[in-house]
Amino acid sequence: MSIVAQSRRLLRQAAGAVLDGLLPGSCLLCGEHDHSPLVCQACEADLPHLGPGACPRCAEPDCSGQWCAHCLRHPPHFDRAWALWRYEHPLDALLHALKYRNELGLAAWFGHRLAPMLFAHSTDWDCLVPLPLHPQRLAERGFNQSREVARHLGPHLNLPVMPELCRRQLATRPQAELPLAERHANIRGAFHCPGMLTGRRILLLDDVMTTGATLNECARTLKLHGALRVDVLAVARTCHHT
């Protein structure tokens, strides 16, 4: 490995620190100047793609393209799921930068890269719905990262972005703080639709899909209000089921 490559790898491992003091035009991961916006070509090539063979129902990786055991035992309320990347380093640093460092330019960057994956899978969706945040969480953060990505992805897919179709009505504990087995109960009843969605085909977007409990509860709520189909799209997917 060259000295330059070794240096780039070390810089990526310290991505959180690098993000605090970058010059304009620098790669958010390695700090090098590059003509590519936000992420240089070398770092983008190293991002951990989900790859082929994911479960077609929940996008769980490494399932030989078949339904995973979890979906066979407990089919989710959503009909299909896709994710572009695995939620691993250094992709996690980019999502952290978007959510907690206000690097909102990454919303457009993610949206532009998600679109080509969906062109071959379109199921005549009517609209794109970002997973809603509770008003308290929205006030704390100042924006909904999923809504920001959706705002840029929608035009690529020629889909209207309709966050008003579903609202977060319960301020639940953060799912990441809970054991996997408790996440479904924690999120139960968290969403509400102010109107009927009869016959709608909805593409539901979130930044990270872990167990899928939050997206599943949102899809359940959308279908209870008449949605015909709910597909799920995540920027990144974690790699476990229990």
31 in the same domain as 121: no
Q: What is the residue range of 119's domain?
A: 49-237
57 in the same domain as 41: no
42 in the same domain as 131: no
41 in the same domain as 160: no
Q: Residue 109: inside a domain, yes or no?
A: yes
115 in the same domain as 135: yes
Q: What is the pLDDT of residue 24?
A: 57
Q: Residue 242: inside a domain, yes or no?
A: no
Distance (Å, rounded) from C-alpha 154 to C-alpha 161?
A: 6
- Residue ranges, the chain, pLDDT below 50: 1-23, 242
Q: What is the pLDDT of residue 3?
A: 47
Q: Residue 192: inside a domain, yes or no?
A: yes
65 in the same domain as 20: no
Total domain count for the chain?
2
Pair 97, 28: CB distance under 8 Å = yes
56 in the same domain as 38: no
121 in the same domain as 35: no
CATH of the domain at 201: 3.40.50
Distance (Å, rounded) from C-alpha 88 to C-alpha 19?
A: 17
Rounded to 5°, angle at Cα 148 from 57 and 59: 15
Q: What is the pLDDT of residue 176?
A: 67
Between the alpha carbon of residue 177 and those of residues 59, 166, 169, 173, 237, the distances in Å are 22, 24, 20, 7, 18
CB atoms within 10 A of CB 186: 18
CB atoms within 10 A of CB 24: 5
146 in the same domain as 105: yes
101 in the same domain as 24: no
Q: How many helices (H) and strands (E) does the chain have?
A: 10, 6
Q: What is the pLDDT of residue 134?
A: 93
pLDDT digits (tens, 9 = 90+) for 44-95: 999 999 988 999 999 999 999 999 999 999 999 999 999 999 999 999 999 9
Q: What is the pLDDT of residue 180?
A: 67
Sheet containing strand 80-86, edge to edge, reads: 80-86, 229-237, 201-209, 127-130
DSSP secondary structure letter of residue 26: B
80 in the same domain as 28: no
Q: Residue 207: inside a domain, yes or no?
A: yes
Distance (Å, rounded) from C-alpha 234 to C-alpha 81?
A: 8
**Over pLDDT 70: what percentage of the chain?**
84
- Choosing from 27, 46, 65, the residue where a domain stops is 46
